[in-house]
Amino acid sequence: MEYRRFGKTNKHISAITLGGMRFSKVWEEPRTDIPRETQEHCNQIVDLAIKYGINHFETAHGYVKSETVFGRTLNQELNIDRSSYFLMTKGNPKTADETRRLVKEQLRTLQTDYLDFYGWHGINTPELLTSSCKTGGAVEELLKMKEEGIIKHVGFSTHGSLETIQQAISTDLFEFVNLHYYYFYQRNEAALQLAKKKDIGVFIISPNDKGGQLYKAPEKIRKAIPHATPIQWNARFCLNNEAIHTLSFGMTEAAHFDEMNGIFTSSNKEADKIALNDLNDMINDDPYASFDAYTLNNDPSDLDIPLLLHWRKLWKCYDLLDFARYRYKELKTPNHWVPGVFATKEAIDKIDFSKVPKHLPLKEMLNELHAAFYYK
Q: How do residues 74-96 score in pLDDT, each as one tens digit?
A: 999 999 999 999 999 999 999 99
Q: Are strands 176-179 and 201-204 parallel, antiparallel or unpaired?
A: parallel
Mean pLDDT, range 163-180, rounded to an integer: 98
The mean pLDDT value of the chain amounts to: 97
pLDDT of 130-162, one tens digit each?
999 999 999 999 999 999 999 999 999 999 999
When pLDDT is averaged across residues 231-250 and rounded to a whole number, the result is 97
What mean pLDDT is predicted for residues 260-289? 94
What is the reported pTM? 0.96
Q: What pLDDT sits at residue 265?
A: 82
Report the percentage of the chain scoring pLDDT > 70.
Answer: 100
- Give the pLDDT of residue 343: 97
The yes-or-no verdict on residue 376 having pLDDT over 80 is no
Beta bridge partners of 240: none
Is residue 30 scored above 80 in pLDDT? yes
Residue 360 has a pLDDT of 97
Question: How sure is the predictor about 266, in pLDDT bands with cuts at 50, 70 and 90?
Answer: confident
Q: Please state which CATH number belongs to domain 3-268.
A: 3.20.20.100
pLDDT digits (tens, 9 = 90+) for 294-325: 999 989 999 999 999 999 999 999 999 999 99
Asked whether the beta carbons of 348 and 367 are under 8 A apart, the reply is yes
pLDDT at 177 over 80: yes
Please determine, for residue 210, whether its predicted confidence score (pLDDT) is greater than 80.
yes
> Among residues of the chain, what percentage have pLDDT more than 90?
97
For residue 88, the Cα-to-chain-centroid distance in whole angstroms is 14
Hey, where are the domains in the chain? Answer: 3-268, 286-373
Residue 334's pLDDT is 80
Distance CA 138, CA 206 (A): 26
Given a cut of 90, whether residue 233 has pLDDT beyond it is yes
Task: Give 375's pLDDT tier (boundaries 50, 70, 90).
Answer: confident
C-alpha 65/C-alpha 37 separation (Å) is 12
Residue 279's pLDDT is what?
Answer: 98
Q: Given a cut of 80, is residue 267 above it in pLDDT? A: no
pLDDT at residue number 188: 98
